[in-house]
Amino acid sequence: MQVHWIWLAHRPGVTDRMKSILLEHFSDPEDIFFAEESAFRGISGLTDHALEGLMDKNLTASEEILDTCDRKGLQILTFSDEHYPQRLKNIADPPMVLYYKGRLPDWDASPVIGIVGTRKASAYGMHMARTLCAQIVSCGALVVSGGAEGIDTMSMLGALEAGGRVIGVLAGGLDK
């Protein structure tokens, strides 16, 4: 079934919001995959481009992603998994699939603080990011950052040095 989640997650022209709407109409991504074109008629906001993406039933790319994840030890968390963050489910356009490595935190039990900063930070800015995030985790929060060089890296380093937990959200993917 993960292959169908990945297929849905990568449909060209289908926004994450539209994927959520489709899941309200169909029981799961497998039902969306096997649906005929007529089953999509009447779904508000579905564009011709999105319909074209949904009618592409080729699973090759999805199977390749599964193989890559398996080879590289990456885990997959789908929108229907019990460990998928409830807070993320409640946004307007949640991602259907999350890829991760490591242990999952209890996303919904702790405050989550997102840190975003510049790559060209001053020495003072980097010191403050490190110090601030050490204090944030000492209060029981998770630190989320993109992990880029500069403020992001110092934030995550400060949190880890203080014994905290961090979540790195990578735009390019874990396999890169």
Count Cβ atoms below 10 Å from residue 19 Cβ, excluding itself: 23
Give the CA-trace dihedral at 137, 141, 145, 147, to 10 degrees: 30
pLDDT of residue 66: 95
pLDDT digits (tens, 9 = 90+) for 124-152: 999 999 999 999 999 999 999 988 889 99
Stretch among 11-25, 64-78, 89-103, 119-133 having the lowest mean pLDDT: 89-103
- Looking from the CA of 125 toward its CB, the CA atoms found within 13 Å total 13
Q: Which residues pair with 78 in a beta bridge?
A: 97
Q: What is the pTM of this model?
A: 0.82
Count Cβ atoms below 10 Å from residue 146 Cβ, excluding itself: 17
pLDDT digits (tens, 9 = 90+) for 18-58: 999 999 999 899 999 999 999 998 898 899 999 999 999 99
